Amino acid sequence: MDGLKKYLGLAALGLSMFGSALAYAQEKPASLGIGVFSFTSGATAAYGMPGRNAAELMIEQINAAGGIGGVPLKATYVDEGQGTEGVIADFRKLAGDAENQVMIAALSSGNCMALAPLVDQLKIPTVGWNCDTHQLFASEAHPYYFRPNGNTVPEFMAYALYMLSVKPDAKRIAIINPDYAFGHDAANIFKAALKAFKPDAEIVAELFPKLGAATFQTEISRLTAARPDVIFSNLWGGDLENFVRQAAPRGLFSMSQAVLALGESSLQNVQIPEGVIVGVLGDGWWNSPDAAANEETQKFAAAYKEKFGSYPVFPSMKMANSFLFIKKAYETALEKNGGKWPSRDEVAEAMKGSVVETFTGTTTVREDNDGVVDQIIGTTVKVEGFDFPVLGNMVRYSGEALMPPVGEDPIEWIGKLPADFPASLPQPGSYK
Cα gap 179→75, rounded to integer Å:
31
Cα gap 324→367, rounded to integer Å:
20
224 binds other proteins per the rule CB under 8 A:
yes
Determine which residue in the list 42, 143, 426, 429 makes contact with other proteins, applying CB under 8 A: 42
Return the range that interacts with other proteins (CB under 8 A); candidates 100-108, 222-230, 344-352, 399-407: 222-230
246 binds other proteins per the rule CB under 8 A:
yes
271 binds other proteins per the rule CB under 8 A:
no
Determine which residue in the list 16, 20, 41, 121 makes contact with other proteins, applying CB under 8 A: 41
* Nearest Cα residue to 118 out of 133, 107, 106: 106
* Nearer residue to other proteins within complex by CB, 239 or 283: 239
Is-cis flag, bond preceding 95, omega within 30? no
Return the range that interacts with other proteins (CB under 8 A); candidates 93-101, 202-210, 324-332, 401-409: 202-210
Cα gap 37→244, rounded to integer Å:
27
Q: At its nearest, how many Å lie between other proteins and the CB of residue 209?
A: 7
* Nearer residue to other proteins within complex by CB, 238 or 312: 238
CA distances from 326 to 137, 355, 395, 405 (A): 20, 12, 28, 25
Show Cβ contacts of residue 67 under 8 Å, excluding neighbours closer than 6 positions.
32, 73
**DSSP codes, 206-244:** EE-PPTT-S--HHHHHHHHHH--SEEEE---HHHHHHHH
Side chain identity at residue 208, one-letter code = F
207 binds other proteins per the rule CB under 8 A:
yes
Q: At its nearest, how many Å lie between other proteins and the CB of residue 305?
A: 19
214 binds other proteins per the rule CB under 8 A:
yes
40 binds other proteins per the rule CB under 8 A:
yes
Helix (H, G, I), strand (E, B) or coil at 109: helix
Determine which residue in the list 77, 180, 208, 308 makes contact with other proteins, applying CB under 8 A: 208
45 binds other proteins per the rule CB under 8 A:
yes
Cα gap 283→361, rounded to integer Å:
7
Could you tell me the maximum CA-CA distance found in the chain, to the nearest angstrom?
98
Determine which residue in the list 29, 143, 212, 275 makes contact with other proteins, applying CB under 8 A: 212
Return the range that interacts with other proteins (CB under 8 A); candidates 40-48, 56-64, 130-138, 362-370: 40-48
Helix (H, G, I), strand (E, B) or coil at 170: coil
Q: Which bin fits 157, alpha (ψ -120 to 50), beta or left (φ > 0)? A: alpha
Show Cβ contacts of residue 260 under 8 Å, excluding neighbours closer than 6 positions.
233, 235, 240, 244, 266, 272, 276, 277, 278
* Nearer residue to other proteins within complex by CB, 171 or 222: 222
111 binds other proteins per the rule CB under 8 A:
no
* Nearer residue to other proteins within complex by CB, 171 or 184: 184
Q: How many residues bind other proteins (CB under 8 A)?
A: 34
Interaction site with other proteins (CB under 8 A) = 40-43, 45-46, 49, 79, 81, 179, 205-210, 212, 214-215, 217-219, 221-222, 224-225, 238, 241-242, 245-246, 249-251
